[in-house]
Structure formats: C-alpha cells, structure tokens
Amino acid sequence: MSIQLTSNWLGTQRTGSDHRSIAPLSSKRGHAMTRTSQEINDLAEASYEYGFSTDLDTDIAPPGLTEDTVRLISAKKDEPDWLLQWRLKAFEAWQGMTEPDWAKLEIAPIDYQALSYWAAPKQKPVLDSMDDVDPEIRDMFDKLGIPLHEQKMLSNVAVDAIVDSVSVTTTFKATLAEAGVIFCSFSEAVQDHPELVREHLGSVVPVRDNYFAALNSAVFSDGSFCYIPSGVRCPMELSTYFRINSQNTGQFERTLIIAEDDAHVSYLEGCTAPQRDENQLHAAVVELVAKDRAEIKYSTVQNWYPGDENGVGGIYNFVTKRGRAHTDAKISWTQVETGSAITWKYPSVILQGDRSIGEFYSVALSSKRQQADTGSKMIHIGADTTSSIISKGISTGRGQNTYRGLVKVMRSAENARNYTQCDSLLLSSDCGAHTIPYIEVKNPTAKVEHEASTSTVGEDQLYYCRQRGMTEEDAMSMIVNGFCREVFDELPMEFAVEAQRLLSVSLEGSVG
Amino acid sequence: MLMVENLSTSIGGTPILEGLDLSVGAGEVHAIMGPNGSGKSTFAHALAGRDGYEIGGTATLDGVDLLAMDPEARAAAGLFIGFQYPVEIPGVNNMYFLRTALNSVRRARGEEEIGARDFLAVAREAMELVEMKKDFLNRSVNAGFSGGEKKRNEILQMAIMRPRLALLDETDSGLDIDALQIIAAGVNSLRSPERSVVIITHYQRLLDYIKPDVVHVLVGGRIVDSGDHTLAHYLEDHGYANFVNHDPDSAPGRPLTGTAS
Ligand SMILES: Nc1ncnc2c1ncn2[C@@H]1O[C@H](COP(=O)(O)OP(=O)(O)O)[C@@H](O)[C@H]1O
Ligand SMILES: [Mg+2]
C-alpha cells in the first residue's frame, strides 16, 4: 500500500525547523512557569494553522429548522420522493426526542433554530473535469495540502472533498470504476445508484437511534458513498476530506460504505475547520456494511478547530459511527481525535455474523478546554465473535477526557471474546481522565477482559531524554507518541506520520 | 576538560554535596568510589542539570560553564551520563530514540542530521561493541529490559553519542562477569585522547578491566581523597570506615599513593 499525501494535509505543517525555533525551556525549576503569557499564546495560536476561512461565494439557506427546511434541502438536491419521506420521518422523530445528557460533557445550549442547514459553495453545476473546480476551492485545498488535480496527484489515494455541506470533487473516479468500485458523493449516489442507497441507508444506524442521528437523517446534505463489489480488493485508499467553511452552519454529512462478500476497502477521513468564536455543530452519521468475509478499515484523523484556552469557539463533534459485520467479516475503526471543542463519538461494531471481528483503536487528546467523551460499542450477536478496544486518552491544559465503552454479549454469542484496554495519560494538574466501561454479558461462555491504567509523563522520562540532547518539547512529544504507539501502528503509514505530527503540534505549549 | 570547583548541591534544602572539587583531563579515566548515599549519583545529576537541585560553585566542560545551561545543551556540549537507573519509555522504538538523541545534539552543534539509513550503519557498529542482538533496536527504550540489558543500552548510547565526557553511574552494578567484561571492553574501545570517562562504582572489580588514571573517594558530599588505581584495592580491602567522619587530610592507615591530576 502506498499513499503519498503531501505532508500538511491534516493540518500539521507547523513542525520541522519552525517547530524547533521555540525557545528552549530553562531547567531551573519554576522558570518554565514564568514563560510570558504572550509566548504561551503564540504557541497555542500557532498550533491551529488551519484556522483560515476562504471567501467563497456561498449559497446559504436562512437559519431555522422546520419541515420546510427539510423539503428545501431535498428539493435543492433533486431527491426522489422516498428519500424526502425518509427525511421527514426522521424529522418527526427528532422533534420528539431530547438531547442525550448522560455523557460527561458540559455543553452550552444549542439553538437549533439559529443554525443554517444548507450551505453550498456556488459553482458551475456540472464538472466535466477536475479543471472545472472553482479555482478558489482548489486554492483552499492547496492551502490545506490536498491536491484535487488528478494529474498533479502522485498519490494512490482517491479523494472526495466536502466543503460545508457539498462534495466539490471526487478524484480518480475512472480508475476506481475499472475495478467496479463506486466512490462518489452521497448526492451522486442518490441519483446514480438509488437502489443501493435505498437498501442500506439507515440499515445500521436507524433514524431514531439517537438525537443527533435523527437530526442528521432529516437534514444531511452530502457525504461520501463507497461500494465495493464482491471479491474486489479496492485498488487504492479511499479518502474523504471534510472542511467546514461557512459561519453559523451545521455540517451534517452522511457516509455509507458497502463491502460485498469478500471485498476489501481501506477508507480515510480527515477534518479541519476555520477558527471562529462561536461553536459550530457537526453531526455526522457513518454506516458500514461488511458482508460475508469482507473487510472494512476506517481511519479518522480529526482536527476540527478545538476552540481557544478560554473555551471560546470550536466544533461540536457529535457523531454516530457504526458498522455491521456479517459472517467472517471484519470491521476496524481507528481514530485520532485531536480537535473539536466537544467530541461525542462511539464508533461501534455489530458483530452479527459468526466469527466476525470488530476492532477499535483510538487516540483522543483533550487540551485547552476541550472535552471528549468517546469510546466504542461492541455488540456480539454471532458465535465465536471477537472484538478488541484499545483506547488511549491524553488530557492536558484543562481538557477532560472520558472513555465510555459498551461490550454487549447477547445470548446467541457463544464463545464471544472481548479485550479492552484503556490507558489515560495526564499531562497537567487541571485536566481530567475518566474511564466508564459498561459490560453486559448474557452468555456464560463469553470471555471479556478489561484493563485500565492512568499515568503521567514522568519527570524522570523527560530528564532522561533531555540528558540525551532532546528539548523538553521534543521529549514530551516523543513520550506521548510512544504512549499512542499501538494505535498509530494501525494507521496507514503516511497517516501515522501525520497523526504523530498532529499530536506533537497539539501538545505544543503543554510542557512546564 | 572537566573542572569542578567547590560544587555544592542541596535537594529540598538538605545539603548533599558540600564543596566538591574535581578535575579531569582530556583522555583520562577517573573513578569515583564512595559508600551508599554519599552523593555520587547526585554529583552526576548536578552536572547533567536535573530539575530541583540547588547548586553552588562552578563546573566547566572545555571551559564552558555547564551550570548555566539546560540539560539538553549540556548534552550537546558533550556531557553524557550513564544512568544508574535507566528510564523506561514504553512505545518509543530504541532505534528511533537513539537517532533522535544523536540528531538533537548534532543539530544543536550546527552539524548535519543523519538519515535513517546512515544511522543504521552507525548503530550496527555500536551494537557490535556491546555485543547486542539486532532485535534490541526494535524494542521500546528500556521497557522490559533486564538489568544487564539496560546497562548495556547505556553503553550503546554512549558509543553512538560519542561524548566528550562520559559519567557512568554504577554501570557495573548487578552485572554478571560476562556482562561486566563486555561493558568494560565497550568503554575501553571508546577511550581516546579526546574523550574522558568518570566511572562511579562501589566495587574495584570493574576497575580490573578499565584501569583508571585516578581514583577518588567521595564521602559526605566531598572528594576526601584521590590516588592511583591502588586506592581502589585499598578501599576494597578496608572499606570507607577510615574516611567517614574524619578530616580527609588526616585519614590514617593508608599508604600514600599517587595524587590527583
Ligand atoms: N530527590 C531527592 N530528594 C531528597 N534526597 C535525595 C534525593 N536524591 C538523593 N537524595 C539523598 O541524597 C543522598 C545522596 O544520594 P545519592 O547521590 O543517590 O547517593 P549515591 O549515589 O552515592 O548512593 C542520599 O542521602 C539520598 O537519600
Ligand atoms: Mg547512586
């Protein structure tokens, strides 16, 4: 597997010599504490360099959410009636639901009527080739380091780029089509492959699943769609890049990945957003269907704007991700979550078929005033099903990090196995880490193991590294990256390198 | 090369070192011996710049004031400590750690960094010196290493860092005779006119393999006596009793040996 994204594609460019120019911290105790707040501000600000917004000519619906809004979205997208009805049903369900309050999160009230539910960059409606992409959008992605020009792309990654609510381009379509792989925006899939969408949409995450999933089902605007036919190993990594650009808009993408019998696919998603003072809502739904012996590997590196030190601004990342694994199928979630003001996210696997496998590997970093309540759910239904959960939570600044996970073994799941390991790393005195595992076992043959640890980066570790010539910042990021090793090892190689850089950048200023 | 004058160190207000003097010339090997708790490790950490130490006096390496620098700058100036208790860093690949360390000091000195491929050659050579198995490089730094492996890893790091001054803190403790010989051979092969070594040890055993130019006795936070390698044998036979609670100038019962340089 070879992927060669340009190095800054996840918002992690600020490394290298630039990164090293930070004044070395003095060894004298107390001196580190007296670094001017200006210096600290510089570090903190420098660490989110994707905070720019692009002045795109955008088509935005007026704020507010009513049945008419849902109809407007559906009409804008020229959707078939069944889909409009599906949305309306979801909207009705949502109206009768309340926001979940069980997570260990402090969420400022969200005024759903103050948001705009449709924002699309205005551009030529039909793209004959990549050259037709609006130059301003192309520039924006260039700035982010994501090449949308197929001829400029050396990499073996097909990219679907989504700005605000709309997919602006999908690359490498032709190459994929040869293999029979469909990779396109969700809207296109609705037009071109309605039968596939209709069969699977909501089959893993039903509209009433939860408050945010219901909201998404009513107003989702776009997202990515992948279909891998029977026996096909997808010839390249599939990747979706999400960018929130407009102000006061929610982003509600919908992703659906279907791997037929014996199909294989590895899918990557990356996210950034401009730096803004108000919170922005991102409520996505991802559904994965892995048929018999199929394998889906889904990797996320999430770097939405986290807000500032005082908790002003930042993305509310309320996401529902779930996969259904049929007989002998395998679904693997890997996530590196460093951004967002609030993360509420529990990628899950329904282990439906016998011998199916579910995996969850997670690194979640909470710094500044970030709050993360994240984990996984593994639902064992089939016999001899196996799941593993490796969660690494890092808290610094005044960040709060909660692992919340459910392992459920149904009566039918003979010989189910789960191994869960939750490690927390605390880097400051004002941060918090919490581990909340739920285990429900209805079959006595199940073996469920849970291990948890909490540690700090030892002074002695930092000192050891510094005696070997490393700066305190470099030492810290090396030690923290070591802590995350098992998760990074699961990422495709280039992504792992980016994830490490991202983590290092996110940690800048958290030493001392 | 190393000049330490009237060095004092307190930890949390408790004095540990009080007026320590030591001078080590280029290419020399010195040994520091002393009873448990006499301040040997504290001396190493004071030179290396560990946090939380209140320091007085002076210490220079090649005329450069060590005490004014951050630990990493002292490393870049050529100071290397072989830790008595090497620290475990889970998940950090040993090879990556070593390369980062080497490149950190190279960068600080304005030298070019070494790429992964060239480094592998450097590492291989150093590994042979301490007779290490290849898989050693791919394990996490010191994590799950045996006591002997940890000590060998320190010498491996020394061989890669090629410091001006290496201070080896009880690198011999807990080693069997084979491991001891490997380590001694490693250190001996790194002896050069440009490199000085200070060996902190309890036992003269190691000094049978690495012959020191000067042996110092550290008691009560000071160097109370210095002599040639026969001093180590004397200490082995008689212990430190004669040095404890005595004025060093009137330490009795020991034949005069060579003097410190
Ligand atoms: N961090 C510390 N805080 C308080 N006392 C310490 C600390 N480190 C060392 N000491 C004390 O300093 C003295 C010297 O210790 P050390 O330098 O480790 O001795 P040695 O290496 O010669 O055995 C001992 O009495 C020890 O208890
Ligand atoms: Mg000691």
Residue closest to B22 by CA, chosen among B150, B198, B183, B202: B198
Percentage with pLDDT > 70 across chain B: 93
B41 C-beta closer than 6 A to ligand 1: yes
Whether the pLDDT of residue B77 is over 90: the answer is yes
Q: Which residue do the tokens 């490796």 mark?
A: A390
Q: Which residue do the tokens 């909470």 mark?
A: A366
The distance of B35 to chain A (nearest Cα, Å) reads 24
CB neighbour list of residue A447: distance below 8 Å, 6 or more residues apart: A415, A416, A417, A418
Residue contact B52–A481, C-beta within 8 A: no
Whether the pLDDT of residue A386 is over 70: the answer is yes
Q: How far apart are CA B56 and CA B53, in angstroms?
A: 10
Q: Of A4-8, A99-103, B26-30, B122-126, where does mean pLDDT reach its minimum?
A: A4-8
Q: List C-alpha distances in Å: A386 to A111, A265, A349, A447.
A: 41, 20, 11, 10
Kindly state whether A469 is in contact with chain B, defined as any CB-CB distance less than 8 angstroms.
Answer: yes
pLDDT recorded at residue A2:
25
CA-based Rg of chain B, rounded to a whole angstrom? 18
Residue A311: which pLDDT band, with cuts at 50, 70 and 90? Answer: confident
Kindly state whether B246 is in contact with chain A, defined as any CB-CB distance less than 8 angstroms.
Answer: no
pLDDT recorded at residue A44:
36
Average pLDDT over residues A255-273: 89
B38 C-beta closer than 6 A to ligand 1: yes
Q: Of A131-135, B59-63, B68-72, B216-220, where does mean pLDDT reach its minimum?
A: A131-135
pLDDT recorded at residue A138:
62
Q: Which residue do the tokens 């639902």 mark?
A: A379
Whether the pLDDT of residue A177 is over 90: the answer is no
Q: How far apart are CA A305 and CA A162, in angstroms?
A: 16
pLDDT recorded at residue A25:
27
pLDDT recorded at residue A272:
64
**Which of A459, A471, A479 lies closest to B92 in CB terms?**
A479
Percentage with pLDDT > 90 across chain A: 49
DSSP H/E element including B187: helix B177-190
Q: Where are the domains of chain A?
A: 1-345
Average pLDDT over residues B148-169: 95
Q: Of A57-71, A150-164, B158-172, where does mean pLDDT reach its minimum?
A: A150-164
pLDDT recorded at residue A390:
97
Single-letter amino acid code for the residue at A212: F
Q: Which atom of ligand 1 is nearest to the CA of B44?
A: 17
* A372 or A353, greater pLDDT: A353
For B98-108, b/e burial (b = at least 16 CB within 10 A) is bbbbbbbbbbb
Kindly state whether A465 is in contact with chain B, defined as any CB-CB distance less than 8 angstroms.
Answer: yes
pLDDT recorded at residue A118:
77
A484 neighbourhood in chain B, CB within 8 Å: 91
pLDDT recorded at residue A304:
80
Q: In the sheet that B29-33 helps form, which strands lie side by side, from edge to edge?
A: B79-82, B165-169, B196-201, B29-33, B214-219, B222-227
Residue contact B70–A474, C-beta within 8 A: no
Single-letter amino acid code for the residue at A446: A
* B261 or A84, greater pLDDT: A84
Q: How far apart are CA B228 and CA A149, in angstroms?
A: 74
Q: Would you give the DSSP letter of residue B159?
A: H
Strands (E), A303-429: 314-325, 330-337, 342-345, 348-351, 357-366, 371-374, 377-380, 386-395, 400-409, 417-426
The β-bridge partners of A296 are A265, A331
Kindly state whether A15 is in contact with chain B, defined as any CB-CB distance less than 8 angstroms.
Answer: no
Average pLDDT over residues A155-164: 58
The distance of A1 to chain B (nearest Cα, Å) reads 21
Residue A19, token pair as written in the block:
């990164």
Residue ranges of domains in chain B, CATH in brackets: 2-89+165-258 (3.40.50.300)
* Highest averaged pLDDT of the listed ranges A79-83, A130-134, A506-510, B145-149: A79-83
pLDDT recorded at residue A54:
58
Average pLDDT over residues A95-104: 91
Residue of B nearest to A24 (CA): B70
Q: How far apart are CA A226 and CA A228, in angstroms?
A: 7
pLDDT recorded at residue A12:
30
Whether the pLDDT of residue B8 is over 90: the answer is yes
Query: What value does the mean pLDDT of chain A take?
Result: 80
CB B2 within 8 A of CB B196: yes
pLDDT recorded at residue A17:
29
Kindly state whether A260 is in contact with chain B, defined as any CB-CB distance less than 8 angstroms.
Answer: no
Average pLDDT over residues B134-145: 90
* Highest averaged pLDDT of the listed ranges A99-108, A267-276, A365-374, B104-113: B104-113
Dihedral angle over CA of A309, A428, A509, B70, nearest 10: 150
Q: Of A15-24, A106-115, B251-260, where does mean pLDDT reach its minimum?
A: A15-24
CB B210 within 8 A of CB B195: no
Average pLDDT over residues B204-214: 91
pLDDT recorded at residue A69:
92
pLDDT recorded at residue A22:
24
Residue closest to B55 by CA, chosen among B201, B260, B168, B221: B221
* B240 or A389, greater pLDDT: A389
Distance of CA B37 to the CA centre of its chain: 17
CB neighbour list of residue B111: distance below 8 Å, 6 or more residues apart: none
Distance of CA A348 to the CA centre of its chain: 13
From the CB of residue A354, how many other CB atoms can be counted at a distance below 10 Å?
17
Q: How far apart are CA B170 and CA B201, in angstroms?
A: 5
Average pLDDT over residues B105-120: 93
Q: Of A119-128, A332-341, A390-399, B145-154, where does mean pLDDT reach its minimum?
A: A119-128
Whether the pLDDT of residue A161 is over 80: the answer is no
Q: How far apart are CA A281 and CA A113, in angstroms?
A: 12
Whether the pLDDT of residue A71 is over 70: the answer is yes
Residue A355, token pair as written in the block:
């011998």
Q: How far apart are CA A324 and CA A330, in angstroms?
A: 9
CB A240 within 8 A of CB A209: no
**Which of B73, B101, B107 lies closest to A468 in CB terms?**
B101
pLDDT recorded at residue A3:
24
pLDDT recorded at residue A11:
30
Whether the pLDDT of residue A512 is over 60: the answer is no
Residue contact A27–B108, C-beta within 8 A: no
pLDDT recorded at residue B257:
47
Q: How far apart are CA A492 and CA A362, in angstroms?
A: 14
Residue contact A468–B140, C-beta within 8 A: no
Residue contact B91–A485, C-beta within 8 A: yes
Query: What value does the mean pLDDT of chain B take?
Result: 90
Q: Which atom of ligand 1 is nearest to the CA of B84?
A: 21
B39 C-beta closer than 6 A to ligand 1: yes
CB neighbour list of residue B99: distance below 8 Å, 6 or more residues apart: B114, B116, B119, B123
Distance of CA A427 to the CA centre of its chain: 23
Q: How far apart are CA B236 and CA B241, in angstroms?
A: 11
B104 neighbourhood in chain A, CB within 8 Å: 468-471, 474
Residue closest to A381 by CA, chosen among A439, A449, A330, A325: A325
**Which of A24, A461, A482 lies closest to B70 in CB terms?**
A24
Alpha helix (H) ranges present in B21-111? 40-48, 71-76, 94-108
pLDDT recorded at residue A32:
31
Q: Which atom of ligand 1 is nearest to the CA of B34?
A: 22
Q: Of A118-122, A241-245, A297-301, B253-257, where does mean pLDDT reach its minimum?
A: B253-257
Ligand 2 center to B44 CA (angstroms): 9
Average pLDDT over residues A386-403: 93
Percentage with pLDDT > 70 across chain A: 74
CB A502 within 8 A of CB A271: no
Q: How far apart are CA A267 and CA B143, in angstroms?
A: 33
Residue contact A29–B87, C-beta within 8 A: no
Q: Which residue do the tokens 């982003």 mark?
A: A251
* B94 or A503, greater pLDDT: B94
CB B164 within 8 A of CB B79: yes
B35 C-beta closer than 6 A to ligand 1: no
Q: Of A199-208, A325-334, B109-118, where does mean pLDDT reach its minimum?
A: B109-118
Q: How far apart are CA A179 and CA A102, in angstroms?
A: 45
Instruction: List, for residues A12-58, the tens digit of each pLDDT value.
Output: 322 222 222 222 222 333 333 333 333 333 433 345 556 555 555 66
DSSP H/E element including A24: none
CB A84 within 8 A of CB A140: no
Average pLDDT over residues A118-125: 58
Nearest CA to ligand 1 atom 9: B42
Q: Which atom of ligand 1 is nearest to the CA of B43?
A: 17
Best mutation target, A26, A421, A425, A468, to test chain B (most B CBs within 10 A): A468
Average pLDDT over residues A474-481: 91
